[in-house]
Amino acid sequence: MRRRVVITGIGCINPMGNDVETMWSGLKESQSGVGYTSIFDASRFPTRISAEIKNWELSDAGEDEERWKFCGRHSRFAIGAAKQAVEASGFLDSLKDPTRFGVYLGSGEGNQDFNSFTHMMTSALGEDGELDLVKFTEAGLSTLNPLVELEQEPSMPASHLAGLFDAQGPNANCLTACAASSQAIGEATEIIRRGDADVMLSGGTHSMIHPFGVTGFNLLTALSTSNDEPTKASRPFDRLRDGFVLGEGSGMLILEELDSAKQRGAHIYGEIIGYGSTADAYRITDIHPEGRGAIGCMKMAIADAGLSPEAIDYVNAHGTSTTVNDKVESKACREVFGENAMNVPVSSTKSMMGHLIAAAGATELIVCLLAMRDRVLPPTINYENPDPLCDLDYIPNVAREADVKYALNNSFGFGGQNITVVASRFDD
């Protein structure tokens, strides 16, 4: 018999708030975490807006800043969110074997030190304007801090968390773009299901609000350039959408085998009952126009959960606010839910917190758990101009009371990676 996996701890740091309840309050009230970029001078960039973390330091999580002074922004967010989740769970007090506790994250690369890189480039320019690689290397050796450079490795947050909590079990990181943390949660669930661990710390962390990150997404024409009204820029499924708003942050969950959780009397936020993973095998940056990967992924997760599509009460959409994603995801939902599609509420909380890239899926799964707990569906804000190609119930602008037992969370990443997780309210 397959082992059941429940969630016993949650934590987050994101543009809507630096803890779970603050974030959830803002989402229910249709607030926005988007504003003008302040982390670097973006005044001459095509996109001058983002969804940044505000008023948070690692010391707020009870950590010594000196200990983590070389850590990247993403690692700091991961530590803060993970400490919230671990504390909420309380499992460490009863953990007898640390080899039964693992970490599986979806984490992106660390922030590039743009100033140091610029110094290396300018130092290496010869009189002819050509790059001298010898001088470039010499400048790097004298300028760069190896501990800081280590943070470019996407696996560093998982390593930091393993050391922080003495998690000696399975440890891994995946970087499948916007699907990363959802895939991490799915794979961590499978680890517990097959008996290789009893507890997994899983989720994601990322920050791409830096010159290289913004430039890259601008080149892909993926970011909104609606700079005049930042809080209205992210408008999933709206006919006037023009791209996503880049966000940052971390979402972390404690996944635990059901019997273990019940034995210690843990509070259970919900249960992971379905996981689906597919690839579009189409284009690096585009979802398949017929939504074949998204359709297959949702069907796989629903089947894994042992449900029919009619049982799904809410969909937290990938809903990026890009022209292609939103219409294709809507099409995929219509295919999966059939005649019942208009009766399934769908919303994108990216309309409020922006797109957290690798951290998005985990954060949005936490939102699903809270929706089930409080029987409230978060809205899609800025939905003002209906798009005939996006014709579902997007919970426009205002939160809605609803009884939710089964929630489906979609995450679709660059490269055509598709992940769907189905969570259930725990009534057992």
The CATH number of whichever domain residue 268 belongs to comes to 3.40.47.10
Provide the pLDDT for residue 428: 72
Contact 424, 305 (CB under 8 A): yes
Do 127 and 24 fall within a single domain?
Answer: no
- Given 124, 150, 176, which residue is the final one in a domain? 150
Do 145 and 229 fall within a single domain?
Answer: no
Domain count, the chain: 2
The crossing angle, in degrees rounded to 10, of helices 360-374 and 180-193 is 70
- Given 150, 166, 198, which residue is the final one in a domain? 150
* Domain span holding position 413: 5-111+151-424
Provide the pLDDT for residue 109: 87
What is d(CA 36, CA 238) in angstroms, rounded to the nearest whole number? 22
Specify the pairing of strand 5-13 against strand 248-257. Answer: antiparallel
Do 144 and 292 fall within a single domain?
Answer: no
Provide the pLDDT for residue 414: 85
Provide the pLDDT for residue 42: 97
Do 330 and 361 fall within a single domain?
Answer: yes
Do 225 and 374 fall within a single domain?
Answer: yes
Q: How many residues in total does the chain contain?
A: 428
- Given 97, 123, 150, which residue is the final one in a domain? 150
b/e burial code for range 262-298 (CB count within 10 A of at least 16 → b): eeeebebbbbbbbbbbbbbeeeeeebbeebbbbbbbb
Do 126 and 271 fall within a single domain?
Answer: no
Do 102 and 198 fall within a single domain?
Answer: yes
Do 79 and 124 fall within a single domain?
Answer: no
Q: Which long-range contacts (CB under 8 A, 24 or more apart) does 307-310 make?
A: 307/273, 307/274, 307/406, 307/422, 309/336, 309/337, 309/338, 309/340, 310/337, 310/340
Q: Which residues are catalytic?
A: 178, 318, 355
Do 133 and 269 fall within a single domain?
Answer: no
Q: Vertex 350, ends 180 and 156: CA angle to 5°? A: 30
Do 27 and 142 fall within a single domain?
Answer: no
Provide the pLDDT for residue 116: 81
Do 95 and 201 fall within a single domain?
Answer: yes
Do 60 and 120 fall within a single domain?
Answer: no
Alpha helices in 16-110 (DSSP H): 20-28, 73-89
Provide the pLDDT for residue 38: 97
Global pTM value? 0.96
Q: Which residue positions in the chain have pLDDT lower than 70? A: none
